[in-house]
Amino acid sequence: MHKPEYYMHRALELASRAAEQNEVPVGAVVVYHGDIVGRGWNQPISGCDPTAHAEIMALRDAAKTLDNYRLNDCELYVTLEPCTMCAGAIINSRIRKVWYGAAEPRTGVSESICNLFSQPWYNHHPEIEGGILASRCKKLLQQFFAERRKQKEPVAKPDTP
């Protein structure tokens, strides 16, 4: 069994793949008894699919690998704090524990804007641990968006009389 950093490095590799495809660089892996059984990276733009977040793609891959939509005893490693949609999928898939890298101050729902995973109305409450290789995860995102800003030409103001 590897340390959490090992799996987060694998998720970072997938996040880099997303960046190469001009997608926001987020990557995720699902681990079952020490083995990676699901992999995913952000693909909503290339896949024309608003649900194709890294977590969702990794959960789908793991469910196919394990031939079960319930991912009991699995852990999810993701480079960015999950959003509301991904939190719902994580809860419904019964992931045992979520490890994430960087916090997401605008849409993160485990520490940033709320703790959706701890709400009493859900029948499943995964363990959550954030901050795994957080600076590397954050740096990858910052570099991606800095490059995107450089590539965009400023909007020219129309001539005024």
Q: For the chain, how far is it from start to end, CA to CA, in angstroms?
A: 70
> Contact 6/31 with Cβ under 8 angstroms?
no
83 annotated ligand binder: yes
- Please give the positions annotated as active site: 55
74 annotated ligand binder: no
Helix, strand and coil content of the chain, in percent to the nearest 5, comes to 40, 20, 45
86 annotated ligand binder: yes
Residues 6+ apart with CB under 8 A from 122: 91
Q: How buried is 5 (Cβ within 10 angstroms: 0-12 exposed, 13-18 middle, 19+ buried)?
A: middle
Indicate the annotated binding residues: 53, 83, 86
Indicate the annotated binding residues for Zn(2+): 53, 83, 86
